[in-house]
Homo-oligomer: A and B are copies of this chain.
Amino acid sequence: MFELHPAFAATSHALGDLALSHARLQGDARFPWIVLIPRVEGAEELEDLAAGERDVLMDEVLQAGLAARAVAEALGRPAPKLNVGQLGNITAQLHVHVIARRPQDPAWPAPVWGFGTAEPYDPATLEIALAAARRVFGL
């Protein structure tokens, strides 16, 4: 049975379940940032998914890009670039990061992973960000 690793609950906010993945908004107001966790027990690498699941994940990565861009727009910081990463060096459970980037963001052009310290959303901004992302995902 699939169980979400507790590290995700500690660092991000639930958006809801897509066809394959559980979708979350990273709790870092510096970056519009979606995390997808395929609900497949024991999966740690893309190769642990079936081929059909990988194609669904690719579709969900596309959707997550639109969602991250929508969060960026909703926060008044439109982002021209997307970054996608599947790392898992610290939390092994398979997950994919999709982040909307722009040249004015604090980490640009470096990757966001391991960059400085996450800044929590204030409650009102969090609601705006969650709503923008959920609208794109149809959640």
Q: How far is the CA of A90 from the CA of B110 in the complex (A)?
A: 9
Contact with B along A42-56 (1 / 0, CB 8 A): 000111000100110
Hey, which chain B residues are within 8 Å of A89, CB to CB? Answer: 81, 83, 101, 108-110
Interface membership of A61, Cβ < 8 A: yes
Given contacts A110-B114, A114-B111, contact A65 B86 (CB under 8 A): no
Q: Identify which of residues 104-126 in chain A touch chain B, using a CB-to-CB cut-off of 8 Å.
A: 108-111, 113-114
Q: How far is the CA of A109 from the CA of B88 in the complex (A)?
A: 9
Interface membership of A16, Cβ < 8 A: no
Q: How far is the CA of A85 from the CA of B81 in the complex (A)?
A: 14
